[in-house]
């Protein structure tokens, strides 16, 4: 945007009579607007996806879903005793569907409702849980003593006569696998980044760096497959735990997927520390190791932290690895027990959930909670990085 | 949105009305068999095109409601909510055809010394009530339970008929397919799993007793066909009655004829006894 020389602009007529430098050419103007629209559409897409997920999940947040097993059906013979509005609500029909439907179909629909009640096995009919709407918040987050269980428990069993939707085991499972993955990946990835950017000879760096980054090109389903067949057996023979497929194996496999993400960002951050820092440290007599550990790493800490946060986002959103390795929704903090992550649950169950039904709504609610979790962690990361930077630059 | 849906429905209806084009969608359990049937039938009737895809019984029934498929394979009966969906979509109940029998076997590792269990014991193992093999006459070792994802028709059948509607143990590992269960059972000496008898390759199939005093029955063809093996189910095809004519009806008849049923055994399921073929 530097103004051109007045003399020159007066002489040249530019393209289509518009002076160069004063105003953009029409083509450039179009290009600019086009790029603006493209970038806007990306933002719009994210917004639309979020709105869609939130809209599908809203009935759960507002408690509009009902999963009570035993409900009193209206016999088809009493159809005329009820007003059309009542019937329409009872049969879950939209006004449009209701007006189009003839009486015989309506009667059939009511008969199906009665049949559904008749189909309930005898032992469930008198079950105290059969009258509960299991999608109320207290059943979603607090333990409940279901019939047949000895104590209040967190249970995720969304398919069956009495559907149990407690989401806590899924959150615990997600955190368990993600944290194990990070504990495994962060030291390895940051260590490798320090080595490659500060200590390695250029020849070694040229080999090691692309090899680690190539890891990110391995499809997660292949990592999952490897973990399922090889890693699980190897780790079990080393650690002698009881369950072959557990959160520990999944976490380590997640680590493989996360290492290249953390490595490449941390390495960038370490490399972009000004050379003057290193030179000054070395000139003062520090060894290369001291320089890397005490000067360069602290200076690059915001970047390393950002790498960890991004790694967290990648790990919490990873689906395939956890899906293949472990997926029992057990409520336990032990790393050698199985775990079921939120993404696994959505991926495995969405296909069979009845469109618009309670299970479907709850899966969408899990999706929106996951979205909120990653959004908040990224926000927190951003905030911390900002504070770090200010501190390092001596502004605070 | 609604307009889009009507256009979509119209185009698919138009596509399926096109001479001899049949789409089949649904159960993963049935998909191999459905493909075999389609292959043979297309060989016999070159003017008919049959497209088969899987996804799960629920997916097939959803597609039947949205009228994006002609036939729907299912490894379980349609639920009331799905029948209601069909009534809302095309004003009629879907017609149900039984097309084959399937015996579900219980797999254990070949090194396990156990040979038989009662249905109640199997149920207790999968609900987590029995946790050690020695409680059912096996070696002293904790039991690792492998189950299917809850989107599977096999899972629902097993839960309803063997577990009597009770919940699977929370610690039951859920696997994405029957083959994955067999794979895991072969790797894990103290494990137990379930699935179609056809998939059991290499693992040990337990004989099942109906009650404590009943004889133990192996999951063989004759035992499933005679109904003495206690864990078996029907496999179904559902169709919109309005489409059940012409080419589609001819295909459905062929599937349930002697000619169609002789391919069932190749895939590992059991042909329908004659008395079950007429609906």
Residue A68 predicted with pLDDT over 50:
yes
Same domain, A246 and A350: yes
Q: Which of A325, A338, A192, A201 has its CA nearest to residue A261?
A: A192
CB contact under 8 A, A327 and B59: no
Q: Is position A343 within any domain? A: yes
Q: Where in chain B is the domain with CATH 3.40.190.10?
A: 2-101+234-276, 105-226
Alpha-carbon span A155 to A169, nearest angstrom:
7
Whether residue A285 lies within 8 A of chain B, CB to CB, comes out as no
Kindly report the nearest CA distance between residue A317 and chain B, in angstroms: 19
CB contact under 8 A, A331 and B170: yes
Question: Can you give the pLDDT at residue B13?
Answer: 47
Alpha-carbon span B194 to B196, nearest angstrom:
7
Same domain, A99 and A195: no
Of the ranges A119-123, A339-343, B4-8, B177-181, the best mean pLDDT one: A339-343
The 10s digit of each residue's pLDDT in B121-163 is 999 999 999 999 999 988 899 999 999 888 778 888 899 889 9
Alpha-carbon span B8 to B1, nearest angstrom:
10
Question: Can you give the pLDDT at residue A18?
Answer: 53
Q: Is position A281 within any domain? A: yes
Whether residue A107 lies within 8 A of chain B, CB to CB, comes out as no
Same domain, A75 and A204: no
Same domain, A366 and A305: yes
**3 state SS for B231-261:** CEEEEEEEECHHHCCHHHHHHHHHHCCHHHH
CB contact under 8 A, B167 and A155: yes
Q: What is the CATH number of domain B105-226?
A: 3.40.190.10
Q: How many CA atoms lie within 13 A of A367 on its CB side?
A: 20
Same domain, A91 and A222: no
Same domain, A104 and A217: no
Whether residue A105 lies within 8 A of chain B, CB to CB, comes out as yes
Whether residue A86 lies within 8 A of chain B, CB to CB, comes out as no
Question: Can you give the pLDDT at residue A16?
Answer: 54
Per-window interface: A 331-390 vs B, CB < 8 A: 331, 337-338, 340, 348-349, 351-355, 357
Question: Can you give the pLDDT at residue A21?
Answer: 57
What's the whole-number average pLDDT of chain A?
85
Residue A54 predicted with pLDDT over 60:
yes
The domain boundary, picked from A119, A154, A177, lies at: A119
This complex has an ipTM of: 0.75
The 10s digit of each residue's pLDDT in B77-90 is 888 888 888 888 88
The 10s digit of each residue's pLDDT in B212-262 is 888 999 888 888 888 888 898 889 999 999 888 888 999 999 999 989 998
Q: Which of B56, B160, B166 sits opposite A148 (nearest CB)?
A: B166
Q: For residue A114, give its domain range.
A: 71-119
Name the DSSP letter for residue B211: S
Separation in Å, CA A41 to CA A27, A44, A392? 21, 5, 37
Kindly report the nearest CA distance between residue A75 and chain B, in angstroms: 15
- Predicted confidence band at B278 (pLDDT cuts at 50, 70, 90)? low
Q: CB–CB of A256/A223 below 8 Å?
A: yes
Question: Can you give the pLDDT at residue B249?
Answer: 92
Name the DSSP letter for residue B274: G
Whether residue B81 lies within 8 A of chain A, CB to CB, comes out as yes
The 10s digit of each residue's pLDDT in A85-120 is 777 777 777 778 788 778 888 888 888 888 888 878
Q: Is position A139 within any domain? A: no
Whether residue B1 lies within 8 A of chain A, CB to CB, comes out as no
Handedness of CA A35, A378, A154, A332 (dihedral sign): positive
Q: Is position A64 within any domain? A: no
Average pLDDT score over residue span A325-329? 84
Per-window interface: B 195-254 vs A, CB < 8 A: none
Question: Can you give the pLDDT at residue B17?
Answer: 45
Alpha-helical (H) ranges within chain A are 6-11, 26-61, 84-90, 95-100, 103-118, 122-125, 137-141, 168-194, 202-214, 220-226, 232-239, 247-271, 275-283, 288-290, 297-299, 301-317, 320-325, 342-349, 358-392
Q: How many CB pairs under 8 A join A and B?
A: 121
- Predicted confidence band at A241 (pLDDT cuts at 50, 70, 90)? confident
Domain B2-101+234-276 has CATH 3.40.190.10: yes
Q: What percent of chain B has pLDDT over 70?
A: 92
Same domain, A33 and A76: no
Count: domains in chain A: 3
Residue B7 predicted with pLDDT over 60:
no
């Amino acid at each position: 945007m530097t103004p051109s020389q007045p003399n020159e602009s007066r002489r040249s007529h530019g393209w289509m009579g518009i002076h160069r430098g004063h105003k953009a050419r029409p083509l450039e103007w179009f290009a600019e607007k086009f790029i603006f629209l493209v970038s806007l559409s990306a933002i719009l897409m994210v917004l639309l996806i979020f709105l869609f997920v939130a809209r599908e999940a809203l009935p759960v947040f507002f408690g509009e879903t009902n999963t009570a097993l035993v409900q009193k059906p209206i016999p088809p013979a009493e159809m005329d005793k009820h007003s059309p509005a009542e019937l329409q609500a009872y049969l879950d029909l939209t006004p449009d569907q209701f007006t189009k439907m003839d009486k015989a179909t309506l009667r059939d629909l009511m008969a199906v409702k009665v049949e559904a009640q008749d189909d309930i096995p005898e032992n469930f009919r008198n079950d105290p849980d059969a009258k509960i709407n299991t999608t109320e918040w207290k059943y979603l987050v607090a333990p409940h003593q279901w019939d047949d269980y000895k104590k209040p428990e967190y249970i995720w069993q969304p398919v069956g006569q009495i559907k149990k939707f407690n989401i806590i085991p899924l959150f615990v499972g997600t955190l368990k696998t993600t944290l194990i993955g990070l504990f495994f990946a962060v030291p390895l990835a940051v260590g490798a980044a320090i080595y490659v950017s500060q200590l390695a000879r250029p020849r070694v760096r040229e080999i090691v760096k692309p090899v680690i980054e190539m890891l990110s090109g391995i499809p997660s389903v292949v990592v999952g497959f490897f973990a399922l067949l090889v890693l699980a057996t190897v780790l079990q023979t080393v650690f002698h735990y009881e369950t072959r497929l557990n959160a520990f194996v999944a976490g380590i496999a997640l680590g493989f997927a996360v290492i290249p993400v953390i490595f490449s960002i941390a390495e960038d951050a370490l490399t972009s520390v000004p050379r003057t820092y290193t030179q000054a440290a070395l000139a003062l007599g520090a060894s290369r190791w001291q320089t890397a550990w005490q000067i360069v790493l602290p200076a690059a800490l915001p970047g390393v932290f950002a790498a960890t946060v991004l790694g967290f986002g990648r790990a919490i959103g990873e689906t395939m690895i956890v899906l293949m390795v472990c997926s029992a929704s057990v409520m336990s903090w032990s790393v050698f027990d199985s775990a079921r992550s939120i993404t696994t649950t959505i991926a495995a169950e969405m296909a069979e959930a009845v469109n618009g039904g309670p299970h479907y709504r709850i899966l969408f609610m899990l999706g929106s909670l996951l979205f909120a979790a990653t959004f908040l962690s990224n926000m927190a990361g951003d905030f911390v990085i900002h504070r770090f930077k200010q501190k390092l630059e001596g502004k605070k | 949105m609604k307009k889009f849906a009507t256009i979509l429905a119209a185009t698919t209806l138009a596509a399926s009305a096109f001479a001899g084009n049949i789409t089949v969608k649904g159960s993963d359990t049935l998909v191999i068999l459905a493909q075999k049937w389609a292959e043979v039938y297309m060989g016999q009737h070159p003017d008919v095109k049959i497209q088969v895809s899987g996804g799960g019984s629920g997916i097939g029934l959803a597609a039947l409601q949205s009228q994006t498929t002609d036939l729907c394979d299912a490894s379980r009966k349609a639920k009331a909510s799905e029948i209601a969906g069909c009534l809302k979509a095309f004003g009629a109940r879907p017609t149900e055809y039984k097309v084959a029998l399937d015996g579900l076997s219980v797999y254990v590792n070949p090194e396990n010394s156990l040979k038989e269990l009662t249905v109640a014991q199997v149920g207790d193992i999968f609900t987590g009530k029995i946790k050690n093999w020695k409680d059912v006459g096996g070696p002293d070792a904790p039991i690792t339970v492998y189950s299917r994802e809850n989107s599977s028709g096999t899972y629902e059948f097993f839960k309803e008929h063997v577990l009597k509607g009770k919940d699977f143990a929370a610690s039951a590992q859920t696997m994405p397919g029957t083959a994955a269960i067999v794979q895991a059972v072969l790797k894990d000496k103290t494990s137990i799993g379930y699935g179609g008898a056809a998939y059991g390759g290499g693992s040990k199939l337990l004989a099942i007793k109906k009650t404590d005093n009943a004889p133990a029955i192996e999951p063989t063809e004759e035992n499933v066909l005679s109904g003495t093996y206690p864990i078996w189910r029907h496999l179904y095809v559902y169709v919109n009655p309005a489409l059940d004519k012409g080419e589609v009806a001819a295909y459905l008849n062929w599937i349930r004829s002697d000619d169609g049923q002789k391919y069932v055994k190749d895939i590992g399921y059991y042909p329908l006894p004659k008395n079950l073929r007429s609906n």
